[in-house]
Amino acid sequence: MARSPAGLFWICLLLALPAPLAAQFMVRLAPRTDRQFTAYQQAAEAKMDWQAQLSPAPGEVLIAAAAGTAVSGVEGGMIHDWRAATLVPGASVAQALALLQDYANYKRIYAPEVADSKLLSHQGNTYRAYLRLIKKKVLTVVLDSEYEVEYRPLGNGRETRNRWAILSRSTRFAEVSNGQELPPGTGHGFLWRLNSYWLIEPREGGVYLECRSISLSRDIPQVFEWIIKPMVTSVPRESLRGLMNATAHALKDQHAPVSRQEPSTR
């Protein structure tokens, strides 16, 4: 079937996009954009009631916009807010906690999106972790990131050890170019901040996992918006689905050691 000259033009343009994008997409995170994300984060955290919001069937991953709309524009950026949940048959809360605390093995459990990982420090219920992330769509972007993670028991008395909240907030993001870190807040801006909020609770015959992901990326120049914006906005959703699938798969395969000690409740 013959293609029109206009159709051939757009195909050629798409094929030629990655090279000019690499040069034209470099940007800096503006302080006002960072402040708007912080305000959004604080407002979202203040409303969290740590109750299950989705009802997946066993083995199913459900994903939905967490705050009515999945993408919110701010000055110079976009905030992505998604929620996903799954019910893992045969798994336990203790196994889920052990898996999520095993930061050294994230590079295996969550490969290829996590290329390297390690635990930086641990004190009580607070962990600090490092992840090297690989984001690949039109361009491949490598990011060194650090997080402060709080494990918070929910409920009272006997329920304390059965339901847990996990609050993971990014503290540093640096893009890696030609093997060298760029100053934080500079680069392509496909991911500047990434916070995750987990709910873990027992269900009959398994464990319920819910994760809300709130992230910040740059905005898209209007000239590229028609082709690039759908790709940039799809990455957080796809990454969250991959995270839930990988977590469920690891639990099913009993990658998490059952004997690993839970965080203390003191």
Over residues 91-126, the pLDDT tens digits come to 999 999 999 999 999 999 999 999 999 999 999 999
- The span from the CA of 257 to the CA of 96, in Å, is 9
Percent of the chain with pLDDT over 70: 78
User: Which residues are CB-neighbours of 198 under 8 A, at least 6 positions away?
Assistant: 100, 164, 165, 166, 168, 209, 210, 211
Q: Per mean pLDDT, which range of 7-11, 177-181, 214-218 is the poorest? A: 7-11
- Cα–Cα distances in Å, from 84 out to 66, 167, 207? 9, 15, 14
DSSP code string of 112-124 = TTEEEEEEEEEET
Determine which helix (DSSP H) or strand (DSSP E) holds 174, and give its type and residue range.
strand 163-177
Over residues 57-81, the pLDDT tens digits come to 999 999 999 988 888 889 999 999 9
DSSP state letter for 22:
H
Mean pLDDT, rounded, for 191-214: 96
Q: Extract the tokens encoding 238.
A: 């796809």
pLDDT band for position 228 (cuts 50, 70, 90): low
Tell me if residue 90 falls in helix, strand or coil.
Answer: coil
- The span from the CA of 102 to the CA of 127, in Å, is 11
Decide: 133 and 114 in contact? Cβ < 8 Å. Answer: yes
- Cα–Cα distances in Å, from 81 out to 55, 72, 103? 18, 8, 24
**Confidence at residue 142, expressed as pLDDT on a 0 to 100 scale:** 94
Percent of the chain with pLDDT over 90: 66
Over residues 139-194, the pLDDT tens digits come to 788 999 999 999 999 976 554 458 999 999 999 999 998 889 999 999 888 899 99
Who wins on pLDDT, 241 or 9? 241
pTM of this structure: 0.84
CA 182, distance to chain mean position in Å, is 21
CA end-to-end span of the chain: 70
- The span from the CA of 252 to the CA of 58, in Å, is 12
**Confidence at residue 122, expressed as pLDDT on a 0 to 100 scale:** 96
Strand partners, 186: 28
Closest CA to 199 of 159, 158, 152, 142: 152
Burial string for 106-131 (b: 16+ CB within 10 Å, else e) reads: bbebbeebbbebebeeeeebebbbbb
Q: At what angle do helices 222-252 and 93-101 cross, to 10 degrees?
A: 130
